[in-house]
Chain A
Amino acid sequence: MNQEQLQTIIFAELKTIAPESDPAELSPDENIREALDIDSYSFLKVLVGLNEQTGVDIPEADYGKLSTLQAMTEYLAARIR
C-alpha cells in the first residue's frame, strides 16, 4: 500500500465522521481532532476503521501519535505488513 492509497483510506474514514468536511484541505501538521471538531468517541471510531482497513493494531498508548495527518500516515505506513 503506497502513501496515496493510505491517504485515501484516512480521508474516507474522516469523511464518515465529519461528512461536511473536506479532509484533503487539512494541512499535514494540523491537529485533526481540533480542525474537524471530532470528539473522543468519534476519534476512536476513526482509529477502529483504520485498523480494519490496514490491519495495523493501534495500542491505546499510541492514540496520541496519530493526531495529525502526517503523523497518522507515517505511523500506519511504518506498520503495514
Chain B
Amino acid sequence: MGDFCMPSLGADMETGKLVEWVVVPGQRVRRGDIVALVETQKGLFEIEIFADGIMGEPLVQAGQTVPVGTVLAHFQSDQESSRTDEDLIIPPPPVEQQPSVPEASSEVLPPTPQVKPVLGRIACSPSARRLAMELGVDLANVQGTGPNGAIRREDIEQAAQHQKIEQEDDAPGRGLPPETTADETPGSAMRRAIAAAVSRSNQDIPHYYLETDIDMSRPLQWLEEENRKRSMRERILPVVLLLKAVAKALHDVPDLNGFWQEDRLQPKTDIHIGFAVALRDGGLIAPAIHHVGTRNLDDLMQAMADLIERTRAGRLRSSEMTDSTITVTNLGDRGVKTVFGVIYPPQVALVGLGRISERPWAENGMLGARRCLTATLAADHRATDGHKGALFLDAFNRHLQHPEAL
C-alpha cells in the first residue's frame, strides 16, 4: 500500500488545505487524473495522481490544512514495488533527509499540551528547518503557528528577528514599529510565498546575466503575413514565436533546461516552460506550458491562452506548478526594455523578454529603423558558464530569424 501525500507545488509552499476529494475510496484512477483540490497561498490547484492504481481511504478530510508531505490517503499503485509519491514531489524539498519521528518529536514540538504530531510526520517543513539552520535558530525555542503547531518559515524568521533584537539591544533603530502581521489577506499570503522563493533564489543561486538585442523585423513580418490569413480568434501573438524559439534554442543548448539538485546539474529532456503570468489583484504565478518543443505555433498559442485563463481563474494542475524546467518572463507589454530575472529554484535559468520597439539598427554600413527586442538570460553559474549562455542567446536569435521553421 502506497501513500498519496500533500505535494509540494513549488519551492515556496509549506502547507496546503485539502478543499475537496474528487474521487472516492476504491475508485480506479490513472496517472495524471485529478483526485483532489488543494488550496495554497497561490490559489486553488487540481492535484493529479502520480500512477495508475486504486484510491484508498482518505486520512485527511476536506477543510483540513496540513504540511507538505502529509499522507492524504492510502493509494494502491499498480506497480506496487517501484513507485511512491516521491514522483509527485518535483522539486523535492531541498537537501535534508526526512528526520526520523522520535528525533523530530523531541526537537521540534513546542511544549504546549494541544500540540500533537501530524499523522506521524514531523511538524516542521524542510524549508523551515533549513532556514533555521541558516539563521542559527534552535528549533526547540520556536513556537510553531502552523496547523497542529507545525513550525513554519515565518516562525523561524520571527525567532531570528527576536535573537537579533536581543543581540543588538543598544543598536539604533530599535524603536521601529513591529511589522504588521495581523489580518492577513490572500494577497499578502501570495506576497510572502513569492518572498520566500526569491529570497531562497538570491541566497543560493549565483546568477550571471547576459543580454542581446534582436532584430525582430523578419519574424514579425512573417507573423503578420500568417495572421492575415487567419480569423481574429486564430491569430498568433508574437510571444508565441518567442516561446517556441526558446524551446528550440534549449534543444541546442540543453544545459540551461533542467534542475540544480544534489549539488549537480540535472538537465531535462522535455522542455516545460514556466510562463510568468501576472494576476489582476497582484502577485505572480509561473505555471508550466508542457512540451513546448514539440508543439506547433497554433497549438502553442492555444496552450498559452488556456494556461493564462486557468491561472487567472485559479484552476491550475499540480504538474503545472512543479514541472517547469526553465522560466520565461515577458514584460514587454509593460513597456520594459530589459528584464534581469530571478531564477526560480531548482531551475537553472530564466529568459527575460522586453518590449518590441523601433530602434536604430546599423547593418552593412547602413543605419535604419528596425523593430527590436532585448532578450536577457539569467543563469545559475553553478550549472553553466557565460559561454553556454551566450550560445543559447545566439541560438535563440538564429531560430527567430527563420520563423517559418518554428
Bitwise interface map of B from 222 to 251 toward A, beta carbon under 8 Å scored 1, else 0: 001001100011010111000000000000
Whether B179 is near chain A, meaning CB under 8 Å from some CB there, is no
Whether A44 is near chain B, meaning CB under 8 Å from some CB there, is yes
Quick check: B224 and A60 within 8 Å, CB to CB? yes
Nearest Cβ distance between residue A65 and chain B, in whole angstroms? 15
Quick check: A40 and B333 within 8 Å, CB to CB? yes
A40, A57, A58, A60: most-surrounded residue (chain B CB, <10 A): A60
In the docked arrangement, what's the CA distance between A51 and B231, Å? 10
Whether B281 is near chain A, meaning CB under 8 Å from some CB there, is yes
Whether A74 is near chain B, meaning CB under 8 Å from some CB there, is no
In the docked arrangement, what's the CA distance between A19 and B279, Å? 12
Interface of A with B (CB < 8 Å)?
A: 18-20, 33, 39-41, 44, 47-48, 51, 57-61
Nearest Cβ distance between residue B224 and chain A, in whole angstroms? 6
Nearest Cβ distance between residue A17 and chain B, in whole angstroms? 8
Quick check: B280 and A19 within 8 Å, CB to CB? yes
Task: Please tell me which one of the listed residues B227, B228, B280, B332 contacts residue A18 in the complex, with CB atoms under 8 A apart.
Answer: B280
Q: Please, could you name 12 A-B residue pairs with CB atoms under 8 Å apart, sorted by A?
A: A20-B281, A33-B333, A39-B333, A40-B237, A40-B238, A40-B333, A41-B239, A41-B304, A44-B235, A44-B237, A48-B232, A51-B232
Q: Knowing A20-B280, A40-B333 touch, does A61 contact B224 (C-beta < 8 A)?
A: yes
In the docked arrangement, what's the CA distance between A47 and B233, Å? 9
B304, B332, B333: most-surrounded residue (chain A CB, <10 A): B333
Quick check: B280 and A47 within 8 Å, CB to CB? no
Residues in A with CB closer than 8 Å to B237 are: 40-41, 44
A41, A44, A57, A58: most-surrounded residue (chain B CB, <10 A): A41
Whether B303 is near chain A, meaning CB under 8 Å from some CB there, is no
